[in-house]
Structure 1
Amino acid sequence: MTSTRSPFTATALRARQIAVMQRSGIIDLRRPLRVRQKSRAVRTLGPIASGITTGAKWYGDRVALIDGNGSMTYRDLDLASNTVAHRWLMQGVGEESTIAVLCRDHRGLVITMIAAAKLGTRLVLMNTGFSAPQFADVALRERVTAVAYDTEFDPIMAELPQHIEQLGDPSHTVSAGGADTAIPLPSRQGQFVLLTGGTTGTPKGAPRSVDSAFASAQFLDRVPLEAGQTVLLCAPLFHGTALSQFILAVNLGCTVAIHGRFDADRALAQIESLRCDAVVLVPTMLHRLLNSPDIDVRDTASVRIIFTAGAALAPSLGNRAIERFGPVVYNYYGCTETGTATIATPADWLAGPGTVGRPPLGVLVKLVDVEGNIVSESERQGTIHVGNSISFHGYSSGGGKAISHGLMSTGDVGHWDSDGLLFVDGRDDDMIVSGGENVFPGEIEATLYAHPDVDEAAVAGVSDDEFGQRLSAVIVRRNPTLTEDAVRQYIRTELARFKVPRDVLFVNELPRTTTGKIDRKAMTSLTSNGR
């Protein structure tokens, strides 16, 4: 693990990528004309619209999307997005525009993404959890010129500057049917902008474009998603986890069921009724799924892939999922800026519970120590750096992630085990220094999750006059008789003495962001106040 160079030549890498894509069905070398059509469409329209337009030509009557209002075929989505794009053209939207979209997960959001790509417009995917000031702040920073939104967000729109055009609810146009007249191809691919989590500050815009269909090979190398399957998206589409899998699914000609606001019982019902092959969610959702009273009465035998990302998957939670669903858990690790870093297959997880696996095809991952040297030894920590063809090239507002050895930092600290599996130990800025000892919350949290009386847990550092920082554990109890002293004694028997939390706080639920991550700002406030 000392070289920063790819183990494959460019030719060998491309050959392996083609083999992976052929195996999954995303391309068919027996139909070279379709391969050329797909390649041209990706370069011009981007990864989302290209999947829909080629799908409409090749298998137009296949169901592409299922939401709360029913199903739509690939042809339906193509025509409906034409209607929206034509309307926007009349409203002055073009290649120089930037559209923000603030919609729940439904067909209106999907059609907005397709229509924007057909116009070559820059699209900003907004977090539906934003307050009006947050939305306005991000919209101004991203130079938004127009907004498509659900009517429930009318109060937020009322506070926008007047120069930002309000395009209204895309679902209203969708319900009017689709237009047969195609949109002229844009002169270039429009970017889409993902927002960082913003758990420690204002979310930043990370612009993206995908110029090559070969980028899909990095997922398909490790995750056995195949053409024509049914995929349930529980994670929100404005989040990179769900968006990446949505893009893969539509380019494979899959049927994508959009879940919307998460409800564990409804998700289990969808898995059963739709015979879902794959489920995409964040660990919090997986936790709720396993705790649902319906988990043992619903038929989930169809599930071949549980794709989890967006937050750390505790070893105990991943193990519970495998016990219930079988060896189908794929644990993804990456960030908005770098894209994919590693993916753990079920075999990886069973070999090392808690692992995020290995880099997939075409991705390079190295650890870098505080002196800037590459870490080659197992079990030794370093900051995780990634080389990926789909890494972003800087935030919309300027600046970017740290670069070392030509690789981009994720901002996380991790280590390799002796088998070459990667483990993430925590954020480099989450490290707690207590009494001179460096502690990462993740290790303590994973240990707490393994306790039979603990349902959920998070750990934060609190200012302390004596120790600089002291450890504070916030716990959702499964058993109300669990005491603070019992928690401390448990950690004392499992970990080093300096990792025992001084404070233990029991709550009804942990503070989380809309994407399911621990809200570290809220945690700091909660633990500092002791309530």
Structure 2
Amino acid sequence: MTAAHAVLTLARRGLLTPGSPLRIVRQISALRQWGYGLGGSLLSAAARSPSRVALIDPSGSISYAALSSSACSLASSLRSAHGIGPGDRVGVLCHNDLDFVLSVAALSLLGADAVLINTGFSSSQVEAVVRDHGLRLVLGSSSFDLPGLVVPSSALALASTLASASASASALEPPARPGRTVVLTSGTTGTPKGARRPNPRGPAPLVAILDRIPVRAGSRVLIAAPLFHTWGYAALQLAFGLRASVVLSPRFTPASASTLVREHGCTSVFAVPVMLSRLLEAGCVLPGVRVVAVSGSALPGDLATRFMSVHGSVLYNLYGSTEVSWASVATPAELRRSPGTAGRPPHGTRVVVLSPSGSPVPAGVVGRIFVGNSMLFEGYAGGAFPGPAAADGLLATGDLGVLDDSGLLTVVGREDDMVISGGENVFPSAVEDLLATLDGVREVAVVGVPDADFGERLAAFVVRSSTALSADEVRDHVRRLGARFAVPRDVHFVAALPRTTTGKVIKRELFGEE
């Protein structure tokens, strides 16, 4: 990434506007001292725009100056009362609220590692996270119910921690070691793994995202995606880098999202794809938004087209993973041209599609997707799991994809999801996209199941919007629009698809949903 491109991108997004010379000096000084992690970004934003609203949640609003002061106070309390310092691991179990932001910012300032715990985890999963990651403390928001939560004896309840945090903060010094963020994978295929996320070493990650997603400095941003998820956390980092005002709600509903956008004048929304489906089903709109950025799972069927027919050309789809951060972004124009596309890599990002032998495949040929950028993860915490495959400084996403002649990337499915039926390779996601266009289908998931004659066969799990829809109509729709070998022989009508809190379908649980 060239310096000229970075400056141009930051200028286009409103970050290089004139300001008080003293505040600009303090802003730059904060970044030099504390780095580009969440804590440093918060202190930098507070130095430049102290009175601007930093955060709005059900408890009220708070300025950048007040949020920065509160984070420093909590950091001081964690250090003095609990001995938390560089390298210590602390769990954060919070909904989207002020407590999450305070906790992670304070840990960043101390150089401690924040382990973001999925609020949808079962008690046994939370216990496993505490044990496997050796957490010294678990911070849970005051709005979070913790029945039956088991933590090490050294951990304290959040209520006492936050109460002590009201004490005056002693002077903090930049830690000798920057704190890291550990994001737990979704666990859709088994035990969640803790991916160690690096701290940004400069503005390159901010520039990369802003290169393709035009969020403006100082704007109001609703983050509906869970903050414990890579996409929600990235949105928070991006918002602080833009000195934007963040709007949060502990739980997403279509009505609440529409109300928050209207009441607070949000012009950008960060969400996961299933939230768009829920908005359309409920007939709720996001008035006045200019950017709706989604990530975390594939955009099914014609969802992009249907959403933009209501909201206009505002939808941006980021493809990435916990391990590689971002890979590519599809703009509204690209999504109108190809609703299922993952778009193009931002400036400074490299995406290649390789054959099993590791050589690049021609345009139009399916291969393994590899990504290179400045925020590739540092490995899984504890080293209990092998990392993804690497090639020439690039990491595999675990997905199969294809590049067209113009450079647009399309993800066709997970490497381990491909079904071989009667010698034919079938990608379940392609069948899902076909069925998503059938009247009467609300949601659908397709998987491979063992078959004595063909090795595997396809099974479709369909949530109907009309009870009149039959299994034969499902098969006929695929037979008419797709390949003969892509027709699902098994069709199961279910009340709902099992999903993670970020909207991904948990396919291993499908057979328990009938």
Q: Which amino acid aligns with 1:199?
A: T
Post-superposition shift, 1:16? 1.1
Rounded Cα–Cα distance in structure 2 between residues aligned with 1:39 and 1:140? 38
In structure 2, what is the equivalent of residue 309 of structure 1?
Answer: 295
Q: Which runs of 5+ in 2 are unaligned?
A: none
Give the whole-Å Cα distance in 1 for the aligned partners of 2:77 and 2:487: 60
Question: How many angstroms does 1:47 deviate by?
Answer: 2.5
Within the candidate set 282, 305, 330, 1:319 is matched to 305
What corresponds to 1:336 in structure 2?
A: 322
Q: Deviations over 1:155-214 (max 9, x none)?
A: 343x3333x42252489439x858465422212311111111111111111112222122
Offset at residue 39 of structure 1 (A): 7.1
Residue 391 (1) aligns with residue 376 (2): yes
Give the residue type in structure 2 aligned to 1:93.
Answer: I
Deviation of the 1:31 alpha carbon: 7.8
Give the one of 427, 451, 454 matched to 2:438.
451
Task: Answer yes or no: is 1:154 the counterpart of 2:146.
Answer: yes
Q: Look up the equivalent residue of 1:365 and give its one-letter code.
A: V
TM-score (norm 2): 0.94
Find the counterpart in structure 1 of residue 331 from structure 2. Answer: 345
Asked if 2 retains the 8 angstrom alpha-carbon contact of 1:105 and 1:237, the reply is: yes
Which residue of 485, 501, 510 maps to 2:497? Answer: 510
Give the Å deviation of 1:92: 1.3
| Equivalent pair of 2:366/2:400 in contact (CA under 8 Å) | yes
Q: Residues 87-98 of structure 1 correspond to what in structure 2 (within 5 A)? A: 87-90=77-80, 91-98=82-89
Residue 447 of structure 1: how far off its partner (Å): 0.8
- The answer to whether the aligner puts 1:369 opposite 2:347 as a matched pair is no
TM-score (norm 1): 0.91
Residue 499 and residue 230 in structure 1: after superposition, are their counterparts in 2 closer, same or farther (change >3 A)? same
C-alpha contact (below 8 Å) 1:365/1:387 kept by paired residues: yes
Change (3 A) 1:387 1:51: same
> In the superposition, relative to structure 1, how do residues 177 and 63 fare at CA in structure 2: closer, same or farther (>3 Å)?
farther
Alignment of 1:123-522 (within 5 A): 123-150=114-141, 152-157=144-149, 159-162=150-153, 164-169=154-159, 172-173=162-163, 179=168, 181-208=170-197, 209-295=199-285, 300-375=286-361, 377-398=362-383, 399-522=386-509
Partner of 1:120: 111
Say if 1:344 and 1:356, in contact at 8 Å, map to a contact too.
Answer: yes
Q: Percent identity?
A: 38
How many Å apart are 1:510 and its aligned residue? 0.9
Letter in 1 for 2:453: E
* CA separation of 1:497 and 1:303: change in aligned 2, threshold 3 A: same
Unmatched runs of 5 consecutive residues or more in structure 1: 1-9
Tell me the CA shift for residue 154 of structure 1: 3.3
- Deviation of residue 140 (structure 1)? 2.3
Deviations 1:263-315 (A, max 9, x none): 111111111111210111111111001111444xxxx4410001011000024
The CA deviation at 1:93 is 1.2
Aligned pairs for 1:71-86 (under 5 A) are 71-86=61-76
Q: Report SS of the residue matched to 1:341.
A: strand
What's the CA shift for 1:132?
2.0
Q: How far apart are residue 322 of structure 1 and its match?
A: 0.7
Report deviation, 1:23.
Answer: 2.2
**Counterpart in the other structure of 1:7:** none
Partner AA of 1:125 in structure 2: L
Q: How many residues align?
A: 508
The residue type equivalent to 1:234 in the other structure is A
Post-superposition CA distance 1:394-421 (Å, at most 9, x none):
1113231101233110000000123211
Given the alignment of the two structures, is residue 526 of structure 1 paired with residue 512 of structure 2, yes or no?
yes
Structure 1 residue 520 displacement after superposition: 1.9
Residue identity matched to 2:146: D
What is the CA distance between 1:86 and its match in structure 2? 1.8
Instruction: From the superposition, tell whether residues 450 and 191 of structure 1 become closer, same or farther in structure 2 (CA, over 3 Å).
Output: same
